[in-house]
Amino acid sequence: MVAYEVGATYTLNTKENDPVSFIKEKYPDGVDASFEVAGVKTTFDQAIAATKPKGTVVVIAIHARNFEFNPIALMLSGVRLVASNGYSLETFKESVNTLLNRDILLIQLLQKELYLMKY
């Protein structure tokens, strides 16, 4: 499985398992940081629920639709929410086209390990 080849400790099929329950089973207090990359309300809420108090949720996804958001739930969770503007639409298109090029193996693109800043 590719996820393990690039360093994943666990994999999960979210159609078969609840990701928040799975994470809380492994890390009862929640994780230090989570990344919302799908761009839908369900994963946004799951990222907050899976992150420990004083942890950080980073929204990377481009959300195509607006959705209801309860700021009180975020405040009560103690989770910090930050957003990223890491790429433009043009950069996103170039990235997708690069990944679709069958001559390039994804594993060859992953050559650096980047560490999260401590807040």
- Around 95, how many Cα atoms within 13 Å sit in the side-chain half-sphere? 8
| pLDDT tens profile 23-56 | 999 999 999 999 998 889 999 999 999 999 999 9
How would you write 80-94 as a 3-class SS string?
A: EEEECCCCCHHHHHH
The Cα–Cα gap between 26 and 10 comes to 10
Put simply, whether the predicted model's pTM sits higher than 0.85 gets the answer no
Cα distances (Å, whole numbers) of residue 6 to 22, 61, 76, 86? 21, 21, 35, 22
What kind of architecture, by CATH, is found in domain 2-86? 3-Layer(aba) Sandwich (3.40)
What value does the mean pLDDT of the chain take? Answer: 83
Identify any residues that bridge with 83 across adjacent strands, giving them in sequence order: 59
